[in-house]
Amino acid sequence: MAEKAHRRGAGSPVQGVSTRSVDDLVQAMGMSGISKSQVSRLCGEIDDKVKAFLARPIEGDWPYLWIDATYVKVRQNGRILSVAVIVAVGVNSDGWREVLGMDSGPSEAETFWTAFLRKLARRGLRGVKLVVSDAHEGIKATVAKVLNVT
C-alpha cells in the first residue's frame, strides 16, 4: 500500500452491495456464479483485512500528513444517510507515501477529527511537521491540540 510520494463507519466496506451485483461481477470476470454464503464469507474476509490494515502499528516518523474528508451516501437501518469519510495519508522520512488511517462518522465535527487523530497517535503516528488540509475549523483545532502542529 506504500508508494513513493512523487507518485500518487460503520459496518462492512461493501455493505449495501447486493449478492446479485457481486454475482454479476464474478460472471463478468469469466467465473461461474456465486452464492449468498460465498458473498458473506468473502465480505467477512475483506472486513478482517481492512480492520487489520486500519489497526496496524504506524512506525517511524511521518513529517507530512494530508487529511481530508468527503461525504458519501450509505444505507443504515433501511435509510440513506450522508456520512463523512475521513482519510489520513502520510509521507515518511524515507519519502514513502501511505494511507495511515480512515474512518467514517456523522460529520466533520471537531470531536470526530480529535478521536481520529488520537487513534493515529496511539498507533504510533509521530514526527509530524506539516499537515495539509482545507481550512475546516475542526481540523485546525484538532491538529494544534493532538499533533502540536500549527
pLDDT in tens, 78-114: 899 999 999 999 999 999 999 999 999 998 889 999 9
Assess whether pLDDT exceeds 70 at residue 13: no
The DSSP code for 58 is -
The CA distance from 111 to 138, in Å, is 8
Cβ-contact 92, 62 below 8 angstroms:
yes
pLDDT tens figures, 30-74: 777 677 787 788 878 888 999 999 999 999 999 999 999 999 998
Select from 89, 70, 78 the least CA-distant residue to 136.
70
* Euclidean distance between CA atoms 38 and 93, whole angstroms: 42
Q: First CA to last CA across the chain, in angstroms? A: 28
Q: Under a CB-based contact definition with an 8 Å cutoff, are residues 104 and 86 in contact?
A: yes
Q: Is the whole-model pTM more than 0.95? A: no
CATH architecture of 58-147: 2-Layer Sandwich (3.30)
Which residue ranges does the chain devote to CATH 3.30.420.10? Answer: 58-147
pLDDT of residue 25: 75
